[in-house]
Structures are given as C-alpha cells and as structure tokens.
Structure 1
C-alpha cells in the first residue's frame, strides 16, 4: 500500500526539489500530491497560533486529506490543522527551526516534526561577510551616487573612509553553524576574531572566547549570530551600542529580535557608529515611514541572507533523510519534538 505524501513547497523550496529529494532517499511506494504556497511572492506572517507561515489552514487541511507525511517550508501546522488531519504522522519543515509548527499540539496528536538545521549556514555566512564589506567600504551608497550621476570625491576623505577587515577586531555574538563559518572567513582575511557564546566549547583556533562586555569594548565590527531566546531578545540595545568603540560597524543577519533598531538608528544619527548593515528586522516587510529607510550609513537587504540554490536543495535533502527514517521506523535525526518518537 502506498504512502501518501504532501509536498507543500513554495517559490524557493520548490515542490520539485522536495519530491526529487524524497524519492532519492527511499524506495518506498509513495503517492505525492502538491500544494504551492505563495511565499516569498507574498510575505509570510502569523497564521492562527504559529509564526512565519504561508498559506491558510483551510487549503492545508484540504491538501492533507489522507496524507501521512507532509514536507514543506512554510505551511502552518496549527492545532486546527492537526485536529482535521488524523492520518498525518510526520511533518517536515525544511528550515532551521519549525517556527510555523505548533509543537505542543503536534506532540499531543502523535505527529513528529522534523526540521533542517544548517541548511543555509554557508549562504548566510557569505552574505554576512558581504554585508560587512558593503558597510565598511560604503559600497551601496557610492553605487547609488554614481547611478545618480554623482562622482563623490569626498568619500575619499580620511574622516569618511572605514576600516579594513585585515587587522580589525571583529566580535561575533553566537558561534553556531553560521557564526563559526563567519569566524573562519574573517580569520582568513587577517581579522582578530572575538566570540561570545556560552555554549561554544571549541573555537578551532580561529577566535578568542570573551565575555560580552569585553567583546563590546574591543570590537570594531560587531556581527550577530545568536538564536532568539528569552535571554538573547533585545540583548544589543542602547547601552551595548554605546559600549562599542567610536566608529564601530554593526551587522545583523541573524534575527531582528536580537537588536534594538531605534537605538541602532540613534547611534548612526549621532555618528557613534560608522555604519551598520541588516538583513533582518523587527517587522517584515519594513513598513513605509520606518526610520530604517532614512537613517544614513545603513545598508539593508530584505531577509535574503540564506537565499541560494544550494540552500533550497540542502533543505530538501536534509528533510528527505528524516522522511526515509520515518518510513523505515527509525529514530529521526532532526526531530523538534523527540518525546513523540517513543510512543
């Protein structure tokens, strides 16, 4: 008897990639159905009790009828969806964390939720390095001026130029899959790398572990790579930005909740910071009229640090591995609610 699988992809992690990856991992008799969600053509948002989701509960319930397995990136696994889909046993979220899944309700219903950690680590690390370079060399601003017909020689004034990465002290808050890659890149470029991460035990000889207050006092460039927890939410605010050396650069390609953006704009307006670059924001999309859109020396990208073809393929491949383990009755490698596995 075939197993029904719903591929609920979108315009980044395509259904084609999900189906191909699952078929490559297992020889089980599978029957696929597909649902294409609107992200990123339409922004994700809150759906019922879950965050960063795409599509509606109703369309997912309809598409899941009779399905045992669902592989997706953004579909909303809510309590209502779980109650309406009794055949569902495995829900795979092809992203670093299953924020669009109600884990408590999934566990109550005996549904294992898998995810894909590290899928975009290389892409995000590379984007972070690009944002650091863009900020310290003011690449977006000079590009825009040239396109407007302005040859700005004043950018060459000593007071206007930024630091080199070689020889600079760079502080990283967080040393996971992304932060560790950024550290290696910066070390190769000749930077002195400081790391604050209470969970990091081996920095591989490329960085120096320090307390946060020491990192802030020494870092000419600060880059954030921590996960959002109650402890890290808002961890870089006005006091922390003021503790940075005059002319420092701040980069955030992790999560908007880590940083006080009003305080960041204040520090840029006052000239305490030389520049900043951000890929993530407290509200996405950034609303019209936001200070972020008019604050000087602030480089912005629309939450696409992890966007690469490899990321999409990695996401499908990592998830497909756990689909195969589920179908074989084996423990999952990346399960967000492992307590459900013993049932």
Structure 2
C-alpha cells in the first residue's frame, strides 16, 4: 500500500507514519510495511488559509500534485485536497484527515473521484475544554490582564477593591452555546466548580444535558440569564454571526464572553464599543474573523481583552490522538471494514 503522509509542525509526518505502522503491525522495511511518501507542511508556523477551492489548508496544490503520485491512501491534517489534486491522483482511495471536520478537502470532488474521506472527531475535546475553562477563569478573575500589568510595572492593588474584584465560578450562571464533545466536557467541569450551567444547542439531547447537571434553554434565554457565555458551536451558515449586536444587547451588563470555537460565530464589529461602555465586562478570544488579526485590529486597545493565537486544541495529546484516529481508519480500510468517521457516505454508492 502506498501512503502519502502529509504532516505539519503539529501533527508531524513521524507521528502519522508511526501511528499507521502501529495500527498495521509493521516495522520500517518489514513485511507488509507501506511505501510512504512524506510531505512536510508549514502550519502552524505559517497560518493556514484558502488553497484552491478549499478552506483552512496549508501548502500548495502544486506540491500536493507532485507528492501524491501513485498514493492509494493519504493521511494529513492540513494538506489541500482540491479538485485539481484529486484529478492528479487516480489511484487515491482514502483521505484520512486529523481534524474535527475535513474543511481542507473538496468533498464533492472526492466523491466524484471515488475517494472516501474520513476525519477525527473529538481529537482535541479534552484540550479545548480545558483551555475554555482556563479562559473563563482568566477573564473572571483578571488573571491575564493583571499579570500583563504587573510585568509592565503596574501593581493594581485596586483590583482588591470590592467594586473591581473578580467573581467566582461557584454560584455563577454560565451559558454554553453548543454541546458537542467540547461543550459537554466544559459543562461537567463547571458544574464541579459549583456553577449553574445553561446550555443552548438545538441538536443536543436535553436528557443528556440534564444528566450532566446543566439546564437546556433557548439561546435568547441563555444570553439574558448568563454572567458568562462561552461558545462551542460549529460554524455553519446558520450559526455565522450567531452573536451579533442585537444578541450582545441581551446579555447582562458586565457579562463575560468567551470564544474558543470559531471566529465566524461572532460579529466582531460591536465588540470594542461593548467593552468600552461596560456592556461587556471582559472578552476572551482564541479565534478571530481574520487570523491572525491585522495590525489595526480594533480590539487591540479595547479594555479587558484576553487574546491567544488559536491555541485551544494545541496539546501534545491532541496531536497523538489525531494520528491514532486516522491510523485506525487506515487499518479499517486495509482490512476491508467499514470506516468509522466517513465524511462523504455518497462515495459508497459509486
């Protein structure tokens, strides 16, 4: 079996090839060992972006076409699989992507070419949930802003004044928008802290939410009642700009807003004024409408902003878990078994 391992600086080619060999029970050069072609991609040292007709990809179509040659299987996280790439890869039958969704793959072109595409749901759930809780705590207790001020030479003793003091999670109402693998983990942690947790997700089982100690509600109700709102929804046409000026206005004065999911879930335009006016008490972001934010980004000089460079899923365990999820799919393919996370089931009808 010929396999293209298109790794990057996070899920490297060595992780991918090692996980596949472990799954197949082979050693380099041994019996049954796949013939690997390795391609290194520059993400995350260089930001991802659109490549051809796919989004959030790294590298170029030209490098992919050169590398894919006679590959039957490809394992990757960020490589662009466009219509041009599929046209240049007539032997390709499986693309296994180390992500929660294969946004770097043209699924229509893959299906037309008879190529199955799989993905890796939940690979970063633990890391992203931990990070989201950390952002909530950092915003509520001024951890990041007070640290930056102290290191810059300012001792903010006034943060101990009652009017400026932080708020505990214990007894605070926190609203979670989205209740998938990440949101549900966040809820269970927050419940353990003693928070009252509200959940808005039209696709989640209300009984599951209740069993986790949270309360299922409609989005507008959640926004009106929550001192903290944390976003965990997928980005779709229906959820784009889910939090806009009108919905921001529903939130209590001084509420905290956290987004570690997708930048497109929010309309960023009203946020600077919402922070300056006190409508928002704090804003914690790991994702943005433009990544990285431009030099003239309006939130750079807004008060009470915490901003990190899309790090929520960046744990070593996430990279290792992702490699093993896609390797397991390669193993199923090799044994002729059904794939566990098929993104284009229509390919089975070909």
Whether these two folds match at TM > 0.5 is yes
Q: Does 1:316 align with 2:323?
A: yes
Aligned to 2:156: 152
d(CA) in 1 for partners of 2:154 and 2:260? 30
How many pairs were matched up?
341
**Aligned with residue 211 of structure 1, among 190, 210, 218:** 218
Q: Does 1:299 align with 2:303?
A: no
Deviation of the 1:301 alpha carbon: 0.4
SS at match of 1:159: helix
SS at match of 2:188: helix
RMSD: 1.0
SS at match of 2:233: coil
Q: TM-score, normalised by structure 1?
A: 0.98
Contact 2:263/2:287, CA 8 A, preserved across alignment: yes
d(CA) in 2 for partners of 1:149 and 1:216? 37
SS at match of 2:162: coil
Q: TM-score, normalised by structure 2?
A: 0.96
Post-superposition Cα deviations, 1:243-287, rounded to whole Å, max 9, x if no partner, equal: 111111000000011111122222111111111101000000111
Post-superposition Cα deviations, 1:140-183, rounded to whole Å, max 9, x if no partner, equal: 21111111222111222222223110000000000000000000
Aligned to 1:240: 247
d(CA) in 2 for partners of 1:51 and 1:63? 20
Contact 2:65/2:88, CA 8 A, preserved across alignment: yes
Deviation of the 1:32 alpha carbon: 1.0
Deviation of the 1:342 alpha carbon: 3.7
SS at match of 1:293: coil
Deviation of the 1:54 alpha carbon: 0.4
Contact 1:60/1:81, CA 8 A, preserved across alignment: yes
Q: Does 1:9 align with 2:7?
A: yes
d(CA) in 1 for partners of 2:306 and 2:212? 31
**Aligned with residue 41 of structure 2, among 22, 37, 40:** 37
Q: Does 1:174 align with 2:178?
A: yes
SS at match of 1:146: helix
Contact 2:187/2:212, CA 8 A, preserved across alignment: no
Aligned to 1:86: 90
Q: Which runs of 4+ in 1 moved over 2 A?
A: none
Q: Does 1:188 align with 2:192?
A: yes
Contact 1:162/1:274, CA 8 A, preserved across alignment: no
d(CA) in 1 for partners of 2:98 and 2:279? 40
Q: Mean Cα displacement is larger for which, 91-100 or 200-209?
A: 200-209
d(CA) in 1 for partners of 2:213 and 2:126? 17
d(CA) in 2 for partners of 1:29 and 1:149? 58
